[in-house]
Amino acid sequence: MSIPAPEGRRVALLTLGCARNEVDSEELAARLSTDGWQVTTDGSAADVVLVNTCGFVEKAKQDSIETLLAAADTGAKVVATGCMAERYGRELANSLPEAAAVLGFDHYPDISAKLAAIAAGETIESHAPRDRRTLLPLTPVERRVSDVVLPGHSTVDRHTPAHLRPVLRQRLTKGPVASLKLASGCDRRCAFCAIPTFRGAFVSRTPDELLAEAEWLAGEGVRELVLVSENSTSYGKDLGDPRLLEKLLPQLAGVAGIVRVRVSYLQPAETRPGLVEAIATTPGVAPYFDLSFQHSSEPVLRRMRRFGSTERFLELLDSVRALAPEAGARSNVIVGFPGESRADVAELERFLTSARLDAIGVFDYSDEEGTEAVTLPGKVSRATIKRRYDRLSALVDELCAQRAEERIGSTVEVLVEQVDADEVEGRAAHQAPEIDGSTTLVGDVAGLRPGDLVTAVVTGSSGVDLVASPIPTHHDPGDADRAGGEVGDGASVSGGPARAGRAARG
Protein backbone atom coordinates (compact mmCIF):
# COMPACT_ATOMS: atom_id res chain seq x y z
CA MET A 1 0.00 0.00 0.00
CA SER A 2 1.28 3.48 -0.87
CA ILE A 3 2.17 5.87 1.94
CA PRO A 4 0.77 9.37 1.31
CA ALA A 5 3.41 12.03 0.80
CA PRO A 6 3.85 14.53 3.63
CA GLU A 7 1.75 17.60 2.94
CA GLY A 8 3.41 20.05 0.58
CA ARG A 9 6.25 17.73 -0.40
CA ARG A 10 7.64 18.37 -3.87
CA VAL A 11 9.36 15.83 -6.10
CA ALA A 12 11.28 16.84 -9.20
CA LEU A 13 11.39 14.29 -12.03
CA LEU A 14 14.46 14.69 -14.26
CA THR A 15 14.50 12.48 -17.35
CA LEU A 16 17.57 11.49 -19.35
CA GLY A 17 17.91 9.35 -22.45
CA CYS A 18 15.30 8.30 -24.96
CA ALA A 19 11.60 8.89 -25.50
CA ARG A 20 10.85 5.55 -23.82
CA ASN A 21 12.26 6.97 -20.59
CA GLU A 22 10.02 10.00 -20.99
CA VAL A 23 6.95 7.76 -21.06
CA ASP A 24 8.20 5.92 -17.97
CA SER A 25 8.66 9.23 -16.16
CA GLU A 26 5.08 10.20 -16.92
CA GLU A 27 3.89 6.93 -15.37
CA LEU A 28 5.95 7.73 -12.27
CA ALA A 29 4.49 11.24 -12.22
CA ALA A 30 0.95 9.85 -12.23
CA ARG A 31 1.71 7.44 -9.40
CA LEU A 32 3.28 10.19 -7.30
CA SER A 33 0.57 12.77 -7.96
CA THR A 34 -2.13 10.28 -7.03
CA ASP A 35 -0.48 9.89 -3.63
CA GLY A 36 -0.24 13.61 -2.95
CA TRP A 37 3.19 14.59 -4.22
CA GLN A 38 3.58 17.91 -6.03
CA VAL A 39 5.39 16.82 -9.19
CA THR A 40 7.67 19.20 -11.07
CA THR A 41 10.53 19.07 -13.55
CA ASP A 42 12.45 21.81 -11.72
CA GLY A 43 15.09 20.31 -9.45
CA SER A 44 16.02 23.60 -7.78
CA ALA A 45 13.21 23.71 -5.20
CA ALA A 46 12.26 20.10 -4.52
CA ASP A 47 12.41 17.96 -1.42
CA VAL A 48 13.28 14.88 -3.48
CA VAL A 49 14.85 14.76 -6.93
CA LEU A 50 14.10 11.55 -8.83
CA VAL A 51 16.50 11.11 -11.76
CA ASN A 52 15.33 8.72 -14.47
CA THR A 53 18.75 7.71 -15.77
CA CYS A 54 20.02 6.35 -19.08
CA GLY A 55 22.36 3.34 -19.17
CA PHE A 56 22.78 2.83 -22.91
CA VAL A 57 26.37 3.88 -23.68
CA GLU A 58 29.26 5.39 -21.73
CA LYS A 59 28.45 9.00 -22.65
CA ALA A 60 24.84 8.60 -21.53
CA LYS A 61 25.92 7.05 -18.25
CA GLN A 62 28.27 9.96 -17.61
CA ASP A 63 25.43 12.41 -18.24
CA SER A 64 23.35 10.53 -15.68
CA ILE A 65 26.11 10.71 -13.06
CA GLU A 66 26.59 14.44 -13.64
CA THR A 67 22.85 15.07 -13.30
CA LEU A 68 22.71 13.12 -10.04
CA LEU A 69 25.66 15.06 -8.62
CA ALA A 70 24.21 18.40 -9.67
CA ALA A 71 20.88 17.47 -8.05
CA ALA A 72 22.67 16.59 -4.82
CA ASP A 73 24.15 20.10 -4.74
CA THR A 74 20.64 21.54 -4.28
CA GLY A 75 20.36 19.94 -0.84
CA ALA A 76 17.43 17.72 -1.86
CA LYS A 77 17.29 13.98 -1.33
CA VAL A 78 18.46 12.47 -4.62
CA VAL A 79 17.17 9.13 -5.90
CA ALA A 80 18.38 7.34 -9.03
CA THR A 81 16.02 5.19 -11.05
CA GLY A 82 15.66 4.18 -14.70
CA CYS A 83 17.98 2.17 -16.92
CA MET A 84 21.32 2.93 -15.31
CA ALA A 85 19.90 2.29 -11.86
CA GLU A 86 18.32 -0.97 -13.05
CA ARG A 87 21.56 -2.06 -14.70
CA TYR A 88 23.98 -1.33 -11.84
CA GLY A 89 21.87 -1.07 -8.67
CA ARG A 90 23.97 -1.45 -5.54
CA GLU A 91 27.20 -0.94 -7.48
CA LEU A 92 25.97 2.52 -8.46
CA ALA A 93 24.81 3.19 -4.90
CA ASN A 94 28.21 2.26 -3.47
CA SER A 95 30.06 4.48 -5.92
CA LEU A 96 27.66 7.39 -5.54
CA PRO A 97 27.06 8.16 -1.84
CA GLU A 98 25.39 11.43 -2.86
CA ALA A 99 22.32 9.39 -3.89
CA ALA A 100 19.94 8.55 -1.06
CA ALA A 101 18.81 5.41 -2.93
CA VAL A 102 19.06 3.57 -6.22
CA LEU A 103 15.68 2.13 -7.22
CA GLY A 104 14.95 -0.32 -10.04
CA PHE A 105 11.90 -1.02 -12.16
CA ASP A 106 10.45 -3.34 -9.52
CA HIS A 107 10.14 -0.32 -7.20
CA TYR A 108 7.86 1.60 -9.61
CA PRO A 109 4.50 0.31 -8.28
CA ASP A 110 5.51 1.40 -4.77
CA ILE A 111 7.50 4.50 -5.77
CA SER A 112 5.46 6.91 -3.63
CA ALA A 113 6.00 4.97 -0.43
CA LYS A 114 9.71 4.62 -1.16
CA LEU A 115 10.16 8.36 -1.71
CA ALA A 116 8.08 9.21 1.36
CA ALA A 117 10.34 6.99 3.46
CA ILE A 118 13.46 8.55 1.96
CA ALA A 119 12.11 12.07 2.56
CA ALA A 120 11.52 11.07 6.20
CA GLY A 121 15.17 10.06 6.56
CA GLU A 122 14.75 6.32 6.31
CA THR A 123 17.27 4.14 4.53
CA ILE A 124 15.94 2.17 1.57
CA GLU A 125 17.89 -0.83 0.35
CA SER A 126 19.12 -0.25 -3.17
CA HIS A 127 18.11 -2.35 -6.14
CA ALA A 128 19.88 -5.68 -6.76
CA PRO A 129 20.44 -6.08 -10.52
CA ARG A 130 19.41 -9.21 -12.39
CA ASP A 131 19.11 -10.22 -16.01
CA ARG A 132 15.51 -9.27 -16.76
CA ARG A 133 15.42 -11.58 -19.78
CA THR A 134 15.15 -14.47 -17.33
CA LEU A 135 11.97 -13.13 -15.72
CA LEU A 136 9.66 -13.92 -18.64
CA PRO A 137 8.90 -17.17 -20.51
CA LEU A 138 11.00 -17.93 -23.57
CA THR A 139 7.87 -18.32 -25.68
CA PRO A 140 6.58 -14.81 -26.52
CA VAL A 141 2.86 -15.72 -26.46
CA GLU A 142 3.20 -16.93 -22.85
CA ARG A 143 4.45 -13.60 -21.53
CA ARG A 144 1.06 -11.91 -21.18
CA VAL A 145 0.23 -13.72 -17.93
CA SER A 146 3.41 -12.59 -16.16
CA ASP A 147 3.38 -10.14 -13.25
CA VAL A 148 6.83 -8.76 -14.11
CA VAL A 149 6.96 -4.96 -13.79
CA LEU A 150 7.15 -3.34 -17.23
CA PRO A 151 7.59 0.45 -17.06
CA GLY A 152 5.14 2.26 -19.30
CA HIS A 153 2.75 -0.72 -19.37
CA SER A 154 1.11 -0.41 -15.99
CA THR A 155 -2.59 0.23 -15.54
CA VAL A 156 -4.83 1.16 -12.64
CA ASP A 157 -7.14 -1.83 -13.07
CA ARG A 158 -6.31 -4.47 -15.68
CA HIS A 159 -9.69 -6.20 -15.18
CA THR A 160 -11.64 -3.18 -16.45
CA PRO A 161 -11.83 -2.68 -20.23
CA ALA A 162 -9.04 -0.36 -21.38
CA HIS A 163 -11.38 2.33 -22.71
CA LEU A 164 -13.07 2.63 -19.29
CA ARG A 165 -10.13 2.67 -16.90
CA PRO A 166 -7.96 5.69 -16.01
CA VAL A 167 -4.70 6.11 -17.91
CA LEU A 168 -1.74 5.83 -15.55
CA ARG A 169 0.15 8.77 -16.99
CA GLN A 170 0.62 12.46 -16.26
CA ARG A 171 2.16 14.66 -18.94
CA LEU A 172 5.30 16.50 -17.90
CA THR A 173 5.40 18.64 -21.04
CA LYS A 174 2.48 20.35 -22.76
CA GLY A 175 3.50 20.41 -26.42
CA PRO A 176 1.45 18.95 -29.29
CA VAL A 177 3.66 15.84 -29.59
CA ALA A 178 3.81 12.83 -27.28
CA SER A 179 5.36 9.39 -27.31
CA LEU A 180 3.22 6.28 -27.05
CA LYS A 181 4.99 3.13 -25.92
CA LEU A 182 4.17 0.14 -28.14
CA ALA A 183 6.22 -2.43 -26.29
CA SER A 184 9.15 -2.99 -23.96
CA GLY A 185 12.24 -5.14 -24.16
CA CYS A 186 13.96 -6.89 -27.02
CA ASP A 187 14.55 -10.49 -28.07
CA ARG A 188 17.43 -9.71 -30.42
CA ARG A 189 21.00 -10.46 -29.34
CA CYS A 190 23.06 -7.76 -31.01
CA ALA A 191 26.65 -8.20 -29.87
CA PHE A 192 27.13 -4.53 -28.90
CA CYS A 193 23.89 -3.97 -26.97
CA ALA A 194 23.19 -4.55 -23.27
CA ILE A 195 19.61 -3.20 -23.34
CA PRO A 196 17.84 -6.60 -23.24
CA THR A 197 19.63 -7.52 -19.99
CA PHE A 198 18.08 -4.60 -18.08
CA ARG A 199 14.92 -3.97 -20.14
CA GLY A 200 14.06 -7.66 -20.48
CA ALA A 201 12.39 -9.76 -23.15
CA PHE A 202 10.01 -8.28 -25.69
CA VAL A 203 6.42 -7.62 -24.55
CA SER A 204 3.77 -5.79 -26.60
CA ARG A 205 1.01 -3.65 -25.17
CA THR A 206 -2.45 -4.61 -26.39
CA PRO A 207 -4.18 -2.54 -29.09
CA ASP A 208 -7.03 -1.58 -26.76
CA GLU A 209 -4.57 -0.14 -24.23
CA LEU A 210 -2.76 1.82 -26.93
CA LEU A 211 -5.97 3.21 -28.44
CA ALA A 212 -7.28 4.24 -25.03
CA GLU A 213 -4.04 6.04 -24.21
CA ALA A 214 -4.00 7.66 -27.66
CA GLU A 215 -7.50 9.03 -27.04
CA TRP A 216 -6.41 10.31 -23.64
CA LEU A 217 -3.39 12.03 -25.17
CA ALA A 218 -5.59 13.61 -27.85
CA GLY A 219 -7.80 14.92 -25.06
CA GLU A 220 -4.66 16.47 -23.53
CA GLY A 221 -4.04 18.43 -26.74
CA VAL A 222 -1.62 16.03 -28.44
CA ARG A 223 -1.66 16.13 -32.24
CA GLU A 224 1.22 13.81 -33.15
CA LEU A 225 1.86 10.38 -31.65
CA VAL A 226 5.39 8.97 -31.81
CA LEU A 227 5.29 5.20 -31.38
CA VAL A 228 8.33 4.03 -29.41
CA SER A 229 9.79 0.74 -28.24
CA GLU A 230 13.09 -1.11 -28.36
CA ASN A 231 11.94 -2.81 -31.57
CA SER A 232 8.67 -1.68 -33.13
CA THR A 233 8.85 -4.22 -35.97
CA SER A 234 8.32 -7.03 -33.43
CA TYR A 235 5.03 -5.56 -32.24
CA GLY A 236 2.29 -8.17 -31.98
CA LYS A 237 4.42 -11.31 -32.19
CA ASP A 238 3.64 -12.13 -28.56
CA LEU A 239 -0.05 -11.36 -29.16
CA GLY A 240 -0.28 -13.97 -31.88
CA ASP A 241 -0.23 -11.58 -34.84
CA PRO A 242 3.13 -10.34 -36.19
CA ARG A 243 1.25 -8.04 -38.61
CA LEU A 244 -0.65 -6.30 -35.83
CA LEU A 245 1.18 -2.98 -36.27
CA GLU A 246 -0.04 -2.76 -39.85
CA LYS A 247 -3.61 -3.07 -38.55
CA LEU A 248 -3.09 -0.73 -35.60
CA LEU A 249 -1.66 2.22 -37.54
CA PRO A 250 -4.89 3.28 -39.32
CA GLN A 251 -6.79 2.94 -36.03
CA LEU A 252 -4.37 5.26 -34.23
CA ALA A 253 -4.43 7.69 -37.16
CA GLY A 254 -8.22 7.71 -36.91
CA VAL A 255 -8.30 8.89 -33.29
CA ALA A 256 -10.11 12.23 -33.18
CA GLY A 257 -7.66 15.09 -32.76
CA ILE A 258 -4.59 13.14 -33.94
CA VAL A 259 -3.22 14.46 -37.24
CA ARG A 260 -0.01 12.44 -37.48
CA VAL A 261 1.30 9.10 -36.26
CA ARG A 262 5.01 8.35 -36.48
CA VAL A 263 6.70 4.97 -36.03
CA SER A 264 10.24 4.79 -34.66
CA TYR A 265 12.82 2.05 -33.99
CA LEU A 266 12.43 -0.27 -36.98
CA GLN A 267 14.72 -3.28 -37.43
CA PRO A 268 15.60 -3.61 -41.14
CA ALA A 269 15.62 -7.43 -41.00
CA GLU A 270 12.03 -7.43 -39.69
CA THR A 271 10.63 -4.63 -41.86
CA ARG A 272 8.18 -6.58 -44.02
CA PRO A 273 6.71 -5.29 -47.30
CA GLY A 274 3.27 -5.01 -45.69
CA LEU A 275 4.62 -2.80 -42.93
CA VAL A 276 6.50 -0.65 -45.45
CA GLU A 277 3.26 -0.17 -47.36
CA ALA A 278 1.28 0.65 -44.22
CA ILE A 279 3.74 3.32 -43.11
CA ALA A 280 4.23 4.75 -46.59
CA THR A 281 0.60 4.94 -47.68
CA THR A 282 -1.76 5.10 -44.67
CA PRO A 283 -3.41 8.54 -44.40
CA GLY A 284 -2.38 10.23 -41.18
CA VAL A 285 0.76 8.11 -40.78
CA ALA A 286 4.04 9.88 -41.47
CA PRO A 287 5.94 8.23 -44.35
CA TYR A 288 8.97 8.09 -42.08
CA PHE A 289 11.38 5.19 -41.66
CA ASP A 290 13.65 5.12 -38.61
CA LEU A 291 15.77 2.13 -39.66
CA SER A 292 18.46 0.75 -37.37
CA PHE A 293 21.14 -0.17 -39.94
CA GLN A 294 24.20 0.17 -37.61
CA HIS A 295 26.58 -0.71 -40.48
CA SER A 296 26.38 -1.99 -44.05
CA SER A 297 29.48 -4.17 -44.41
CA GLU A 298 28.37 -7.81 -44.24
CA PRO A 299 31.39 -9.04 -42.21
CA VAL A 300 30.81 -6.34 -39.58
CA LEU A 301 27.06 -6.98 -39.47
CA ARG A 302 27.61 -10.71 -38.94
CA ARG A 303 29.98 -10.02 -36.04
CA MET A 304 27.33 -7.68 -34.65
CA ARG A 305 24.84 -10.59 -34.96
CA ARG A 306 22.77 -8.57 -37.40
CA PHE A 307 21.63 -9.13 -40.97
CA GLY A 308 21.75 -7.20 -44.21
CA SER A 309 24.20 -5.58 -46.59
CA THR A 310 24.61 -2.42 -48.61
CA GLU A 311 22.56 -3.82 -51.48
CA ARG A 312 19.77 -5.21 -49.31
CA PHE A 313 19.47 -1.95 -47.39
CA LEU A 314 19.36 0.07 -50.61
CA GLU A 315 16.66 -2.24 -51.94
CA LEU A 316 14.62 -1.64 -48.80
CA LEU A 317 14.93 2.12 -49.24
CA ASP A 318 14.01 1.80 -52.91
CA SER A 319 10.85 -0.10 -51.94
CA VAL A 320 9.92 2.74 -49.58
CA ARG A 321 10.45 5.46 -52.19
CA ALA A 322 8.55 3.51 -54.83
CA LEU A 323 5.48 3.99 -52.63
CA ALA A 324 6.30 7.43 -51.19
CA PRO A 325 9.00 9.31 -53.15
CA GLU A 326 9.32 12.03 -50.49
CA ALA A 327 9.43 9.61 -47.54
CA GLY A 328 11.83 10.41 -44.74
CA ALA A 329 14.51 7.96 -43.66
CA ARG A 330 17.07 8.07 -40.88
CA SER A 331 19.48 5.67 -39.21
CA ASN A 332 22.33 5.23 -36.75
CA VAL A 333 25.71 3.68 -37.49
CA ILE A 334 28.60 2.47 -35.35
CA VAL A 335 32.24 2.89 -36.32
CA GLY A 336 35.14 1.01 -34.77
CA PHE A 337 33.37 -2.26 -33.99
CA PRO A 338 35.89 -5.07 -33.30
CA GLY A 339 37.34 -6.38 -36.53
CA GLU A 340 36.24 -3.39 -38.62
CA SER A 341 38.71 -2.84 -41.48
CA ARG A 342 39.36 0.05 -43.84
CA ALA A 343 37.41 -1.86 -46.48
CA ASP A 344 34.46 -2.12 -44.09
CA VAL A 345 34.50 1.62 -43.51
CA ALA A 346 34.67 2.23 -47.26
CA GLU A 347 31.64 -0.02 -47.73
CA LEU A 348 29.73 1.91 -45.07
CA GLU A 349 30.62 5.16 -46.81
CA ARG A 350 29.43 3.72 -50.12
CA PHE A 351 26.09 2.84 -48.58
CA LEU A 352 25.56 6.18 -46.88
CA THR A 353 26.48 8.07 -50.04
CA SER A 354 23.84 6.13 -51.99
CA ALA A 355 21.12 5.95 -49.33
CA ARG A 356 19.94 9.60 -49.36
CA LEU A 357 19.06 9.53 -45.67
CA ASP A 358 17.63 12.63 -44.03
CA ALA A 359 19.45 12.15 -40.74
CA ILE A 360 22.26 9.88 -39.60
CA GLY A 361 23.57 9.39 -36.07
CA VAL A 362 27.20 8.31 -35.82
CA PHE A 363 28.40 6.47 -32.71
CA ASP A 364 31.96 5.54 -31.87
CA TYR A 365 32.18 1.99 -30.53
CA SER A 366 32.96 1.43 -26.87
CA ASP A 367 32.96 -1.81 -24.89
CA GLU A 368 29.78 -2.27 -22.86
CA GLU A 369 30.09 -4.67 -19.98
CA GLY A 370 27.95 -7.76 -20.31
CA THR A 371 27.91 -7.72 -24.10
CA GLU A 372 29.41 -10.26 -26.46
CA ALA A 373 31.44 -7.59 -28.25
CA VAL A 374 33.62 -7.13 -25.18
CA THR A 375 35.08 -10.60 -25.78
CA LEU A 376 35.61 -10.26 -29.53
CA PRO A 377 39.13 -10.14 -31.00
CA GLY A 378 40.35 -7.48 -33.39
CA LYS A 379 39.76 -4.45 -31.17
CA VAL A 380 40.22 -1.18 -33.05
CA SER A 381 42.44 1.37 -31.29
CA ARG A 382 40.81 4.44 -29.77
CA ALA A 383 42.88 6.69 -32.02
CA THR A 384 41.67 4.86 -35.13
CA ILE A 385 38.06 4.92 -33.93
CA LYS A 386 38.31 8.67 -33.40
CA ARG A 387 39.71 9.22 -36.90
CA ARG A 388 36.96 7.12 -38.44
CA TYR A 389 34.29 8.80 -36.31
CA ASP A 390 35.46 12.28 -37.29
CA ARG A 391 35.67 11.33 -40.96
CA LEU A 392 32.27 9.71 -41.06
CA SER A 393 30.66 12.52 -39.06
CA ALA A 394 31.90 15.06 -41.59
CA LEU A 395 30.60 12.90 -44.43
CA VAL A 396 27.11 12.47 -42.96
CA ASP A 397 26.84 16.19 -42.22
CA GLU A 398 27.47 16.86 -45.89
CA LEU A 399 25.14 14.09 -47.09
CA CYS A 400 22.25 15.13 -44.85
CA ALA A 401 22.65 18.77 -45.85
CA GLN A 402 22.51 17.68 -49.50
CA ARG A 403 19.35 15.68 -48.83
CA ALA A 404 17.74 18.73 -47.21
CA GLU A 405 18.66 20.82 -50.26
CA GLU A 406 16.94 18.23 -52.47
CA ARG A 407 13.69 19.06 -50.66
CA ILE A 408 13.72 22.71 -51.74
CA GLY A 409 10.67 23.29 -53.91
CA SER A 410 8.77 20.34 -52.45
CA THR A 411 5.54 20.57 -50.46
CA VAL A 412 5.62 19.52 -46.81
CA GLU A 413 3.12 19.22 -43.96
CA VAL A 414 4.55 21.07 -40.97
CA LEU A 415 3.25 20.52 -37.44
CA VAL A 416 3.74 23.81 -35.59
CA GLU A 417 5.43 23.30 -32.22
CA GLN A 418 6.65 26.72 -31.15
CA VAL A 419 5.45 30.23 -31.89
CA ASP A 420 7.62 33.13 -30.77
CA ALA A 421 7.30 36.82 -31.47
CA ASP A 422 9.52 36.56 -34.54
CA GLU A 423 9.56 32.86 -35.46
CA VAL A 424 7.26 29.91 -36.08
CA GLU A 425 8.97 26.53 -35.85
CA GLY A 426 7.71 23.02 -36.46
CA ARG A 427 8.55 19.72 -38.11
CA ALA A 428 7.77 18.16 -41.45
CA ALA A 429 6.77 14.53 -41.78
CA HIS A 430 10.40 13.43 -42.30
CA GLN A 431 11.56 15.17 -39.11
CA ALA A 432 11.13 13.34 -35.81
CA PRO A 433 11.20 15.32 -32.55
CA GLU A 434 14.63 16.49 -31.36
CA ILE A 435 16.76 14.27 -33.62
CA ASP A 436 16.02 15.13 -37.26
CA GLY A 437 16.02 18.91 -37.49
CA SER A 438 13.11 21.30 -37.81
CA THR A 439 11.28 23.57 -40.26
CA THR A 440 10.97 27.32 -39.79
CA LEU A 441 7.85 28.84 -41.34
CA VAL A 442 8.24 32.29 -42.88
CA GLY A 443 5.96 34.65 -44.73
CA ASP A 444 2.22 34.42 -44.08
CA VAL A 445 2.35 32.96 -40.56
CA ALA A 446 0.02 35.29 -38.63
CA GLY A 447 -2.40 33.43 -36.42
CA LEU A 448 -0.53 30.14 -36.37
CA ARG A 449 -0.34 28.34 -33.04
CA PRO A 450 1.22 25.14 -31.67
CA GLY A 451 -0.62 22.10 -32.96
CA ASP A 452 -1.55 23.55 -36.36
CA LEU A 453 -0.69 21.37 -39.34
CA VAL A 454 0.42 23.67 -42.16
CA THR A 455 0.93 22.88 -45.83
CA ALA A 456 4.04 24.74 -46.99
CA VAL A 457 6.61 24.90 -49.78
CA VAL A 458 10.27 24.46 -48.84
CA THR A 459 12.22 27.57 -49.83
CA GLY A 460 15.60 26.96 -48.21
CA SER A 461 17.72 24.76 -45.97
CA SER A 462 20.55 24.97 -43.45
CA GLY A 463 22.11 21.64 -42.59
CA VAL A 464 19.15 19.33 -41.90
CA ASP A 465 16.84 22.25 -41.07
CA LEU A 466 14.36 23.63 -43.59
CA VAL A 467 12.73 26.99 -44.25
CA ALA A 468 9.24 26.87 -45.74
CA SER A 469 6.45 29.23 -46.69
CA PRO A 470 2.80 28.34 -45.99
CA ILE A 471 0.63 27.92 -49.06
CA PRO A 472 -2.21 30.49 -49.07
CA THR A 473 -5.66 29.05 -49.52
CA HIS A 474 -9.18 30.38 -49.76
CA HIS A 475 -11.65 28.62 -47.51
CA ASP A 476 -14.82 28.91 -45.50
CA PRO A 477 -13.73 29.99 -41.97
CA GLY A 478 -16.41 27.69 -40.62
CA ASP A 479 -14.45 24.73 -41.94
CA ALA A 480 -11.58 25.58 -39.61
CA ASP A 481 -13.92 25.97 -36.66
CA ARG A 482 -15.44 22.59 -37.36
CA ALA A 483 -11.94 21.11 -37.60
CA GLY A 484 -11.21 22.32 -34.10
CA GLY A 485 -8.92 25.28 -34.78
CA GLU A 486 -8.49 28.78 -36.07
CA VAL A 487 -6.82 29.72 -39.33
CA GLY A 488 -4.83 32.91 -39.62
CA ASP A 489 -4.76 35.05 -42.76
CA GLY A 490 -5.43 32.32 -45.29
CA ALA A 491 -2.61 29.88 -44.55
CA SER A 492 -3.40 26.28 -45.39
CA VAL A 493 -3.94 24.82 -41.93
CA SER A 494 -5.60 21.92 -40.21
CA GLY A 495 -6.89 23.28 -36.89
CA GLY A 496 -5.19 23.54 -33.50
CA PRO A 497 -5.04 21.09 -30.62
CA ALA A 498 -8.30 19.20 -30.59
CA ARG A 499 -10.10 18.22 -27.41
CA ALA A 500 -11.82 15.27 -29.01
CA GLY A 501 -11.99 11.77 -27.63
CA ARG A 502 -12.72 10.78 -24.06
CA ALA A 503 -12.21 13.19 -21.22
CA ALA A 504 -8.73 13.29 -19.73
CA ARG A 505 -8.18 10.54 -17.20
CA GLY A 506 -5.57 9.62 -14.63
The binding site for [4Fe-4S] cluster consists of: 18, 54, 83, 186, 190, 193
What are the helix (H) ranges across 56-154? 58-72, 82-88, 90-95, 111-119
Indicate the pairing of strand 439-441 with strand 424-427: antiparallel
Question: What's the number of CA atoms in the CB half-sphere (13 Å) around residue 194?
Answer: 22
In angstroms, the CA 140 to CA 26 distance is 27
Annotated binding site: 18, 54, 83, 186, 190, 193
In angstroms, the CA 426 to CA 217 distance is 19
Indicate the pairing of strand 101-102 with strand 288-290: unpaired
Phi, psi of 467 (to 5 degrees): -120, 135
Q: Which amino acid is at 146?
A: S
Best CA proximity match to 83, nearest among 24, 42, 9: 24
Phi, psi of 184 (to 5 degrees): -130, 155
Query: 185 to each of 30, 77, 148, 273, how far by Cα in Å?
Result: 22, 30, 12, 24
| Euclidean distance between the first and the last CA atom of the chain, given in angstroms as a whole number | 18
Element (H, E) at 496: none
- DSSP per residue, 120-133: TT---PPP----GG
- DSSP per residue, 423-437: -EEEE-TT--TTTS-
Give 269-337 as a 3 state SS string: HHCCHHHHHHHHHCCCECCEEEECCECCCHHHHHHCCCCCCHHHHHHHHHHHHHHCCCCEEEEEEEECC
Question: What's the number of CA atoms in the CB half-sphere (13 Å) around residue 465?
Answer: 9
**Edge-to-edge strands of the sheet including 359-364?**
288-290, 328-335, 359-364
Question: What's the number of CA atoms in the CB half-sphere (13 Å) around residue 140?
Answer: 20
**CB atoms near residue 357 (< 10 Å):** 21
Best CA proximity match to 31, nearest among 51, 8, 4: 4
Element (H, E) at 392: helix 382-406
